[in-house]
Chains A and B, each alone.
Chain A
Amino acid sequence: MSSHMDCTTFEASLADFLDGGLDERTYAACEQHRAGCAACHALVSDLDAIVSTARSLPLPAPSHDLWSGIEARLETPVLPLDAARDRRAPVVPPTMVWRRLAVAAVALVTVSAGVTWTLTRSEPAVAVVAQGLPAEATPVEVSVTTDAPVTATPGTRTASSTGPTFAIDTLYGREIAMLRTAADASLGLLDSTTVGVVQRNLDIIDNAIRESREALAADPNSGFLLEQLDRAYERKVDLLRRLVLL
């Protein structure tokens, strides 16, 4: 590289110059240019000052204490199913109720190994309808089914939940539903081969979700299976998020 670097070349190397991605020779040429060019010298100084200032920014504080809001959502009341249904309709936004139920289910799973769950749900709470996306990119369809039939054994401390999978389904269902619309938009921009690859990956993940859930139905207290399900959902959320960011 010439020792007489011009401003354009300097600017092209600037990102690496600042963050240490240049070989010794190019770096020296940049350094030489900067030393002799007021404009580039000022540019580097400014960017460096921005980076330094950014690192020393004080932490902003929220306008009010957020703990009470958090704690309210940590509440794990054991709601009878009917109460939950009644409250859901007029007063409380559905997502709140289901969120609370999900939390309740998690708490119960953690605390009460002895509780008997009666699982009669035939459908997964979150079902991904994988219909082989055609070339023009039909969106990934995720349907969130929350009204799963439940029977609670009278007298037992059973929440209006269908067990541990319900909690996880609900937690991720919300996020997945949120990502779905955005992911659809991204899919629409992809070619059919890529859409096919994405769909195959989604299918694999959905199979893992399905299998974990089936195994959990037989062994609801298995921490291992719960974690498997959790991981499968994480992968799904991750994949959708990547789609969104395309």
Chain B
Amino acid sequence: MHTLTVTGLVPDQPHRHRPSASAVAQASFAPAATAVAGSGSIGIEAPDTERADIAAAASGDRRAFERLYRTHGQRIFALCLRMSADRGTAEELVQDVFVRAWQKLDSFRGDAAFGTWLHRVAVNIVLSRRKQDGVRRERTVDDDTSLDAAPARAVHVGDRLDLEAAIAQLPTGARRIFVLHDIEGYTHEEIGDLLGITSGGSKAQLHRARLLLREALSR
């Protein structure tokens, strides 16, 4: 592993190493009991209360299901927002995800963390929306963006708002792979399976995404 001195970056939160991800609790969401990222990264095991809620929800208890939503909803929203790059779409997607999860809850086996299972449900739903989303993105993104030009000035990647905005401007395919790999912690093999592409293709797209982000952030 190479080590780098990263300048211009002062994270106020510990660096996240795969396979684990921390979830940030904000208004209307409870702290996530289960860390979720790529399916290979299960993290903390669900506490008994969550298991009880899953069982209760599977037999129709909506309050128990609401607790699961409070715990995992924000993480799912973040995924949907970054994958779709559209707030309204993301909010619809979150609802679709939880409705689908409710319907499929009795197929949840408990051999993976609930958060991981839910995450997978969400990714599937987001990807099935690809077409509509693609149409939306076309207006802002030029897919032939040149990667050759070196940034004219220093890149300010430390600014998370800038990065978040730049991610939203990526071409759909590159954005999704960047989100799944660099934010959510999926491996290239997992992404390949999800998208029906090779892991090499996933790698290439990821690299392209990072270069595009650098270019965007240097403007």
A-side residues, CB < 8 A to B, are 14-21, 27, 31, 39, 42-67, 69-71, 73-74, 76, 99, 102-103, 106-107, 110-111, 167, 171, 175, 178-179, 181-182, 227, 230, 237, 241-242, 244-246
Residue in A106, A110, A181 whose CB lies within 8 Å of B59: A110
| B94 in contact with A66 (CB, 8 Å) | yes
| B203 in contact with A15 (CB, 8 Å) | yes
Stretch of B40-48, B110-118, B136-144, B150-158 with 4 or more beta carbons under 8 angstroms from chain A: B150-158
User: Given A50-B157, A107-B60, A71–B196 Cβ distance below 8 Å?
Assistant: no
A49 proximity list for chain B (CB < 8 A) = 6-9, 155, 157-158
User: Given A45-B7, A107-B60, A50–B217 Cβ distance below 8 Å?
Assistant: yes
Residue in B1, B66, B73, B131 whose CB lies within 8 Å of A182: B131
* B186 contacts partner chain A, Cβ-Cβ < 8 Å: no
Q: Which 4 A-B pairs have the closest CB atoms?
A: A242-B196, A15-B207, A182-B131, A56-B11
| A241 in contact with B128 (CB, 8 Å) | yes
Residue in B11, B91, B214 whose CB lies within 8 Å of A47: B214
| A56 in contact with B95 (CB, 8 Å) | no
B127 proximity list for chain A (CB < 8 A) = 241, 245
Chain B nearest CB, measured from A246 CB (Å): 7
| B87 in contact with A63 (CB, 8 Å) | yes
Cα of A55 to Cα of B210 in the assembled complex, Å: 13
B35 proximity list for chain A (CB < 8 A) = none
| A54 in contact with B182 (CB, 8 Å) | yes
B-side residues, CB < 8 A to A, are 1-2, 4-9, 11-16, 23-24, 26-29, 59-60, 62, 65-66, 69-70, 73-75, 77-78, 81, 87, 90-91, 94-95, 98-100, 102-104, 106-107, 124, 127-131, 150-151, 154-155, 157-158, 160, 163-164, 167, 178, 182-183, 195-197, 203-204, 206-207, 210-211, 213-214, 217-218
Cα of A140 to Cα of B70 in the assembled complex, Å: 40
Knowing that A57-B183, A107-B60, A245-B197 touch, tell me 14 more A-B residue pairs with CB under 8 angstroms.
Answer: A46-B157, A47-B211, A48-B6, A53-B11, A53-B160, A59-B78, A60-B81, A66-B91, A70-B98, A70-B99, A71-B62, A103-B99, A178-B131, A244-B130
Residue on A nearest B182 in the bound complex, by CB: A54
| A57 in contact with B23 (CB, 8 Å) | no
Chain B nearest CB, measured from A35 CB (Å): 11
B contact face: mostly helix, strand, loop, or mixed: helix
A contact face: mostly helix, strand, loop, or mixed: helix
Cα of A71 to Cα of B61 in the assembled complex, Å: 11
| A179 in contact with B157 (CB, 8 Å) | no
Residue in A20, A27, A55, A111 whose CB lies within 8 Å of B60: A111
Chain B nearest CB, measured from A63 CB (Å): 7
B4 proximity list for chain A (CB < 8 A) = 44-45, 48
| B197 in contact with A70 (CB, 8 Å) | no
| B11 in contact with A67 (CB, 8 Å) | no
